[in-house]
Chains A and B, each alone.
Chain A
Amino acid sequence: MYGKGLRALSIATVAAMTVALGLVFFYAPLEAEQGFLQKIFYLHVPLAIVALCGFVIGGLLAIQHLRTRDARWDMRSYVAIHMSLIFAVGTLITGSIWAKGSWGHWWVWNEPTLVSFLIVFLLYATYQPLRFAIEDPERQSMYASVFAVTAGAFVPLNFIAVRLSSAYLHPRVLGGTSSLPGAMALTFTVSLFAVALLYATLCKYELTAKHTRAQVRALRRRLSGEADTTRRPRSAAPVLHATAAVTAAARTAGRTGV
């Protein structure tokens, strides 16, 4: 069952987010130069790290899909990339706010991390249009996986290229957690953990919703007792194997006595 553990995961996420926000606002010391504004760092950087990891994970799941030809891996890869895109939008927005506050501009070209992130975002923004432009579900999932693997490999390479292009001009603003004082490092680690949990929970919610919808469709078809003749609207989201959804639905139906 896909909904299993969802409640525990959600509660853990809410608790972790609460603790993380509590630490950010009441425990972490104010940074000497930027003051209160610097606290956006505890949201912005975890969002960015989780989004990038999600993109790479999407690529790894896509490799699994290409190896096994199992549509469920494609679904996982799709959900991972979909959620990462949303987190990436959050990263760009919080990054812009931070840049405006500390450098006075909404966008700064000499910060290599920011620029590489934008490039990665622009690349992944074509993932959904690519899926949407292919009608045949099998080919759609195949091509999407090829894209996900290519783009997943592109993420680290792009960071190398952009970092090199300005490495000698601009030192890094944040050199990782090692240079942070203890209280800040702790807050950052907890925030990172909380955002990662949020990502996992949202992914699980989306997976559960997609599977539930497939089951409902299969059940409705059984109730009406005829083959599904209504055409499925074209969509960028992957389709689950009808057989898997039907057997799962049938099992549920048997248990609940429909």
Chain B
Amino acid sequence: MRRTVAALLRKELLVELRTLQSVPGMSLFAVTTFVVFHFALNRNSVEGDLAAGILWVTLLFAAILGINRLFVADADQGGFDGFLLAPVERSAMLVAKALTLLGFLVVLELVAVPAFALLLLGPSLGGELPGLLETLALGDIGIAAVGTLVAALAVRTSARDLLGPLLALPLLLPIVIGGARATSPLLTLAHPTGPPARWLLTLGLYDLVFGLIAYALFDFLLED
């Protein structure tokens, strides 16, 4: 299992490095969205609830771009068939794809969070960075698990570009609720505090439940 996952992961990263079709697009999208928010809200700087909301909505939509593309090459160019012919566990593909998506999200945030701090955020991040990283990490795990499942569900339908986001948005709403509520006290001007524990717990619970669900159900999506 571990070797299979490692091999698949290497393949995914090689493909991404050679084609550069997901991560640069996601990052550029996030930065552009911050500019759009600046003009749409007519604000030079944001803080608190508004800042947390903008950050999470942008990350969510950028993640959906990546989710939409996650399995396209496998569906169109025979990646699924090749994988199914190999005598390996099928869950390996879920793990590899989820780790790939997680990697994409981390790179996306390495670009998007500094850009957000630079372009829109009023208060400086400084002291609250560990709390923010913690929240982002928990959110990313959930997005990666659910995103992989949704991507596999949508990719072999005739309306894949439409169904992916339609399925992903409501399913990922608890992540946005938890993420935004946990982040907003970090980004207030007056007295920034750490993320409330109950929101981190909610995110953790969500990650756990949907990680298990994705693991249990993914095999059925690969059958033919």
- The chain A residues found within 8 Å of chain B, CB to CB, are 66, 119-120, 122-123, 126, 129-130, 133-135, 139, 142-143, 145-147, 149-151, 153-154, 157-158, 160-162, 164-165
Contacts and interface: CB of A to CB of B under 8 A. Distances in A.
Contacts of B169: 122
26 contacts: A66-B220, A123-B171, A126-B163, A126-B167, A129-B159, A129-B163, A130-B167, A133-B158, A133-B159, A143-B153, A143-B221, A146-B220, A146-B221, A147-B167, A150-B149, A150-B171, A150-B210, A150-B213, A153-B209, A157-B205, A157-B206, A161-B206, A162-B174, A162-B177, A164-B202, A165-B177
A164 B198 contact: yes
Interface in B149-163: 149, 153-154, 156-160, 162-163
Interface of B: 149, 153-154, 156-160, 162-163, 166-167, 169-171, 173-174, 177-178, 181, 198-199, 202, 205-206, 209-210, 213, 217, 220-221, 223-224
Q: Is the interface of B mostly helix, strand, loop or mixed?
A: helix
B21 to A, nearest CB: 23
B166 A149 contact: no
B51 to A, nearest CB: 17
A147 B153 contact: yes
Nearest to A131: B157
Contacts of A154: 170-171
A66 B167 CA distance: 20
Given A122-B170, A157-B174, A145 B220 contact: yes
Contacts of A129: 159, 162-163, 166
Contacts of A150: 149, 171, 210, 213, 217
B156 A134 contact: yes
The 4 closest A-B pairs by CB, nearest first: A133-B157, A123-B170, A161-B174, A133-B159
A162 B170 CA distance: 12
